[in-house]
Structure 1
């Protein structure tokens, strides 16, 4: 997944996209309700006498105020006080068809000769009895403005509720996913490592879930490897105990014979001493193998060397190995093709592996048949194999298989693998290493 894809699918981008969509939806809903509200208000005003009723209410209130205060048409100050108490109201007073008061100009004197009754068709005139006689009053109020304000407030409320609900529903999916991950983490804490973490989406939570699932798999594999290692250790200890018991018993037997002097000749004495020496060497060999195994098994991680050419890594090591085997009476067929590749290994481990291989060849290989060392490639891995004919002996040499197990452990720690094949009297050991570059 590229960086651009991560940015496009990040939680921040998703949240921004959610807010933009919610805002757009809220604006659309606002304009739809605003259009509908205006239409409803206009129809309501056309089909009812709402404005006439409101005008009449204010006229009745003005008449009551005039009666209480005994106001004349020229009492501008008193009329101004009444107008200020009302909300969004505008009045004009006409006496004898001359305008004597206009609430739009509360501080100006109005002369009778200046303004007369216009008599517009859309204006309604109401009779009000002042202290100085009856006058006609026109009232203009912002009643429709109030209605529109109420509608707009309602529209804003509905739009905000839609915005809030849409955002909460969008966030709820992420909250549910987080809650799901929390429940699955609790299952993992309880030891249910076989339970697969739910992975969905392409954002940071997805990356977190993938990391948790990878960690689960790593823990599961680690526990499985530890269980297998424990089982393997128990098997090796059991077999080693059995193998050690045999030479120890023989040594004790021959020692007892020598102590009691139960030998017939000097040649028999030296034969018994020779057998004791052989059994002691066998014990040393077994303990050396066990010590080597304990060291390798105890090494959790190793530091591999820098990348190097295949030929540079193995040329000298193979040269020494072939020379040693030839000195021991073996005929070696060396057919290694130096591939153009880079490997990362541990030279110390390779030297240990070759020591184990040559030791096994000396012990079990038939010297009348050649020992083959050949290169091999398998997918992205490259390496070599050793092949020899198994020697036929009346007394089969004792073997615990711990040497092969050591080789497998060292190959595994280097990221490679060891394959053992035995067929038609021939033994083959294949060593494969991950090839970083070709």
Structure 2
């Protein structure tokens, strides 16, 4: 409810209406007394008459009005409206006009006792006096009403000018909210619109920047294997067919570069698809422990050929989770491939599954070299590669970005930790209730 210096709007409205009704009663009292005394020519004595009965009635009406406006039913009404403010303005202006007319008439009767004879003898003078009093009352009403409404008019002009500034200069700018009425709601809506438009503009700029970076990175990563392939093809054209050893060597290199190029294109396509707006996940309920154990078993032999030992720690109890199986498998495979590439040879790679409260955590940890904290902070960025990957040329820089996007689509979290030369990747997913 609107507050005015700690006073409720119901109390303010009740007081104003009470004053209006009480004033009308007092004016009616003067009219009644005037009609009684008119025949005796004692109108000038009206101000001195005992108006106790009218005063008592006016006070009672004033109190009853305040009580009525503060009842639970009236309080439950939404008074945070411009209409209520206008009603208050009209009531205040009416009270001021009535009080002005009553005060003026009282002063005329008190200080000009012969005015009654003038009025009764001169009809034109009487009509002119009535017109003057009415016009003065209207003038007072308009003056007071304008003073009340002027505050809102100024705020509307202020809103209009600020909206123009937002439109012409800077989305993201906010306007001062005053009060709790419809104008305040409009101001809040304008602020929200301004902030949302600023966010959309920033996002569009970011998307454009990311697109340009993507084109640059893709061009660079495509150029390297293509240049290598074209170079060895030229060598084959020159003398590769005459020298069998060189032929085999060149074909092997071309095959390796072609596979690297194919991997890059596939991962780029997959990453682009994962970031499209219309992507949908095919959820199904899975016992995640069996899935992780199966993947670990499939990659165990591959790791062994690379001089690595793959160890898995899976809890005995079943843990069910709603996931897109194909996507999560892809994310876990990327983590395992990453571990195979960067692990120190003759070391262990640990795959662990555990449940923490309502979350399940899948972690892959392995011993690494030449990876700093700066690398750790950027590992999930697109096309980011550590120096070792740049030398070998067998990394696209998209694998961990795909992991991050897959986990985000599942409303999960992925993070990396580096402790004493051991890097740990953790995928955190919500367990099925």
Residue of structure 2 in register with 1:250 after alignment? 228
Q: How does 1:208-357 map to 2 (within 5 A)?
A: 208-262=186-240, 266=244, 269-297=247-275, 299-300=276-277, 302=279, 318-326=292-300, 328-329=302-303, 330-334=310-314, 349-357=327-335
For the residues of structure 2 that align with 1:381 and 1:177, how far apart are their CA atoms? Answer: 51
Residue of structure 2 in register with 1:8 after alignment? 78
Residue of structure 2 in register with 1:429 after alignment? 425
For the residues of structure 2 that align with 1:280 and 1:252, how far apart are their CA atoms? Answer: 11
For the residues of structure 2 that align with 1:179 and 1:381, how far apart are their CA atoms? Answer: 54
1:371-405 Cα deviation digits (max 9, x unpaired): 34456989x99865443333788964543422333
Q: Secondary structure at the match of 1:142?
A: helix
Q: Secondary structure at the match of 2:112?
A: helix
TM-score (ref. length: structure 1): 0.59
CA apart distance, 1:289:
1.8
Cα–Cα, structure 1 residues 339 and 44, in superposed 2: closer, same or farther, change >3 Å? farther
Cα–Cα, structure 1 residues 18 and 248, in superposed 2: closer, same or farther, change >3 Å? closer
Q: Secondary structure at the match of 1:428?
A: strand
For the residues of structure 2 that align with 1:146 and 1:17, how far apart are their CA atoms? Answer: 40
Residue segments in structure 2 that go unaligned for 5+ positions in a row: 3-73, 304-309, 371-387
Cα–Cα, structure 1 residues 17 and 232, in superposed 2: closer, same or farther, change >3 Å? closer
Given that residues 374 and 384 in structure 1 are in contact (C-alpha distance below 8 angstroms), is that contact kept between their aligned partners in structure 2? yes
Q: How does 1:401-412 map to 2 (within 5 A)?
A: 401-411=397-407
Q: How does 1:41-120 map to 2 (within 5 A)?
A: 41-46=109-114, 51=117
1:215-254 Cα deviation digits (max 9, x unpaired): 3222222332332333333333333333333322332333
For the residues of structure 1 that align with 2:361 and 2:135, how far apart are their CA atoms? Answer: 74
Among 157, 161, 164, the alignment partner of 1:186 is 164
Q: How many residues align structurally?
A: 337
Q: Secondary structure at the match of 1:192?
A: coil
Q: Secondary structure at the match of 2:180?
A: coil
Cα–Cα, structure 1 residues 144 and 321, in superposed 2: closer, same or farther, change >3 Å? farther
Given that residues 417 and 431 in structure 1 are in contact (C-alpha distance below 8 angstroms), is that contact kept between their aligned partners in structure 2? yes
Cα–Cα, structure 1 residues 389 and 416, in superposed 2: closer, same or farther, change >3 Å? same
For the residues of structure 2 that align with 1:25 and 1:426, how far apart are their CA atoms? Answer: 79
CA apart distance, 1:284:
0.5
Given that residues 418 and 430 in structure 1 are in contact (C-alpha distance below 8 angstroms), is that contact kept between their aligned partners in structure 2? yes
Cα–Cα, structure 1 residues 156 and 418, in superposed 2: closer, same or farther, change >3 Å? farther
Match status 1:368 vs 2:323: no
Which structure has the bigger radius of gyration? 1
For the residues of structure 1 that align with 2:75 and 2:396, how far apart are their CA atoms? Answer: 55
Cα–Cα, structure 1 residues 305 and 143, in superposed 2: closer, same or farther, change >3 Å? farther
Residue of structure 1 in register with 2:120 after alignment? 142
Cα–Cα, structure 1 residues 335 and 389, in superposed 2: closer, same or farther, change >3 Å? farther
For the residues of structure 2 that align with 1:247 and 1:21, how far apart are their CA atoms? Answer: 79
Given that residues 90 and 145 in structure 2 are in contact (C-alpha distance below 8 angstroms), is that contact kept between their aligned partners in structure 1? yes
Q: Secondary structure at the match of 2:203?
A: helix
Cα–Cα, structure 1 residues 315 and 268, in superposed 2: closer, same or farther, change >3 Å? same
